[in-house]
Amino acid sequence: MNVEKSVIIDFPLRGEWVAPHTPGDKVPSHGTDALGQRFAYDFFRTDTNSTTKFYKGSKFKYFTIGIPIDKCYCYKEAVYSPVDGKVIVVKDGVKEPKRLNPIRDLLRVVWNSISITIKALIIPVKKIKLHKYIGNYIIINFGEIYAFFAHISPGSICVKEGQMIKKGDLLGLVGHTGNSTAPHLHFHLMDSPDLLTAKGIPCAFKKYDVLIDGEWQSVKNHIPKSNQRIRFK
């Protein structure tokens, strides 16, 4: 993805993160242009020496009986606004499972995808309530651009529709709602607040650190890749 054509914004999280899905690797980053997510990012936290293990405990327990959701490193980490703007959509109320298990979580995502496809064949797409499938989310307008934050933990959203906010204002906490296989933040920019018609807009982050050969190096106006550990203070 070309940084020169990207909207440059602040990073929406603090601390160390990895981006398993990022336009820095491929576009569309999630394999689809639907819901304005052509240039979308997913962010979660992992073990110090891994870019994939996102929970405390053994892999055996995770793949068998599962692990409590609060054992995930990024669960209920703060999400901040990367822009000055106006909150135009707040959707809360979708619950999240108390435990994680990869098979059960994947089956839930697959079933949700099948369910929404079937509904789209029966009723007009505009009448389908996307909230259940997306999870709790926030949309912020700045200029002619809309920032989208998804899978927010239920009851943690601390902004209201119509509220004017500044860069760095707290929005809510990372959660595991909707089509999610583990707690993480899904984030992207789009050209419309209507998820059914929105087109994705590329974005890069103004400044963050990348761990290279054991040392943190600062980068500016850059796009994270999935094999990088990144940090924003």
Find the angle CA(71)-CA(65)-CA(63) to the nearest 5 degrees.
80
Quick check: 106 pLDDT over 90?
no
Specify the number of domains making up the chain: 1
Greater confidence (109 vs 193) lies with 193
Quick check: 68 pLDDT over 80?
yes
pLDDT, position 3: 75
CATH of the domain at 110: 2.70.70.10
**What number is the average pLDDT over the span 18-27?**
96
Residue 233: pLDDT band with limits 50, 70, 90: confident
pLDDT > 90 fraction of the chain, expressed in percent and rounded: 77
pLDDT, position 2: 65
pLDDT, position 13: 98
Quick check: 134 pLDDT over 80?
yes
Question: What residues make up the domain containing 78?
Answer: 3-232
Residue 123: pLDDT band with limits 50, 70, 90: low
